[in-house]
């Protein structure tokens, strides 16, 4: 699956679990945060797509995704990032 397709799948997944993805530009890495008691993931659009995908994968590791159907390529991508962090 292409990087752009993975990015789209992450956005669809965020909609399904009720987590908003905020895209911005600036001097920050991105990650999970809470704004007005709402969970959000902040992504820096200035960063290369691979770096944005890695941030998203690391953020989604924190959510319980076991009971959700996730496109196999996206699940493998998230699982690979989790393995790298161990």
- pLDDT for res 81: 87
For the chain, the structural domain boundaries read 3-85
Q: Tell me what pLDDT residue 86 has.
A: 52
What pLDDT, on a 0 to 100 scale, did the predictor assign at position 84?
Answer: 72
From the number of C-beta atoms within 10 Å of its C-beta (0-12, 13-18, 19+), residue 65 rates as middle
**Model confidence over 10-49: pLDDT tens digits?**
999 999 999 999 999 999 989 999 989 999 999 999 999 9
In this predicted structure, the answer to whether residue 65 has a pLDDT above a threshold of 60 is yes
pLDDT average, residue stretch 41-64: 95
Neighbours of 10 (CB within 10 A): 24
- Domain 3-85: which CATH class? alpha beta
Asked whether the CA dihedral 25, 30, 36, 39 is positive or negative, the reply is positive
For the sheet containing 20-24, what is the strand order? Answer: 20-24, 38-44, 30-35
pLDDT class of 85 with cuts at 50, 70, 90:
low
């Amino acid at each position: 699956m292409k990087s752009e397709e993975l990015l789209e799948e992450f956005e669809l997944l965020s909609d399904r679990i009720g987590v908003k993805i905020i895209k911005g530009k600036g001097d920050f890495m991105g990650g999970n945060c809470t704004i007005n008691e709402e969970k959000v993931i902040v992504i820096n659009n200035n960063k290369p797509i691979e770096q944005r995908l890695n941030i998203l994968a690391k953020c989604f590791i924190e959510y319980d995704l076991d009971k959700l159907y996730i496109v196999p390529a996206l699940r493998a991508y998230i699982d690979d990032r989790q393995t790298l962090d161990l």
